[in-house]
Amino acid sequence: MIWDRDRDLAESASQEILTSRQGREGDLRHSAVDVTDAEAVMSAFAMAVQDLGCIDIMVNNAGIAGPTMPSWEYPLDDWRAVIDVDLNGVYYCARAALPHMRERNYGRMVNMASIAGKEGNADACAYSAAKAGVIALTKSLAKETADKDIAVNCITPAAARTRILDQVSPSFIDSMFSKIPRGRFLSLPEAAGMVAWMVSEENSFTTGAVFDLSGGRATY
């Protein structure tokens, strides 16, 4: 089930995935959900459980970049919006899912952080702070659920060519690109491949980990 606050985007993403499966069986649904609304998240999760029977996997991937400017000039409304989507949204989704996973003694959760959460990007204070919060939140959730067959991990990718780049300036994109030793952007299949393993049954031991996808920018 795909969630997006834009129902049309959720539907188009679902159709694109179904088309790419080339006739293979599968059941993919979508729903309009704003992850900054805690009550809406709880309601949507309950509906997903009702529709699908159970939830084994949750990937928290919603994010916005916010403006690029020095922290002392950063608009407060933009600060709140970025924190609300990029950090609070992850917490609200985890808060809805983890009791269900604990009851079933099984679950896999991946939270999308960023290299910015490790290093802090200049002119992106809200995004960097939110993603650092996602890293710490992931570690807390993992410790709270380690007594069950639940894995909660996060990824710290460098820049990838997604729509989030539309929200930042060309000079900021050039700056991020220049810091990647691989000399290229992260590809979406590379990210998907790592997530696919992290949410698999085979990942039965690692939890609370930060998986680097930075192309060599962060090796710690």
39 CB contacts (<8 Å, ≥6 apart)?
none
CA distance 108 to 196: 10
- CB contact set of 112 (below 8 Å; sequence gap of 6+): 59, 60, 61, 63, 134, 154, 155, 157
Burial level of 187, CB count in 10 A (0-12/13-18/19+)?
A: exposed
Catalytic residue among 74, 106, 127, 220: 127
Do 203 and 149 contact (CB within 8 A), yes or no?
Answer: no
CA 35, CA 83: separation in Å to the nearest integer?
12
Say how many Å lie between the first and final Cα of the chain, rounded: 34
Beta carbons of 164 and 186 less than 8 angstroms apart: no
Active site residue 74: no
Catalytic residues: 127
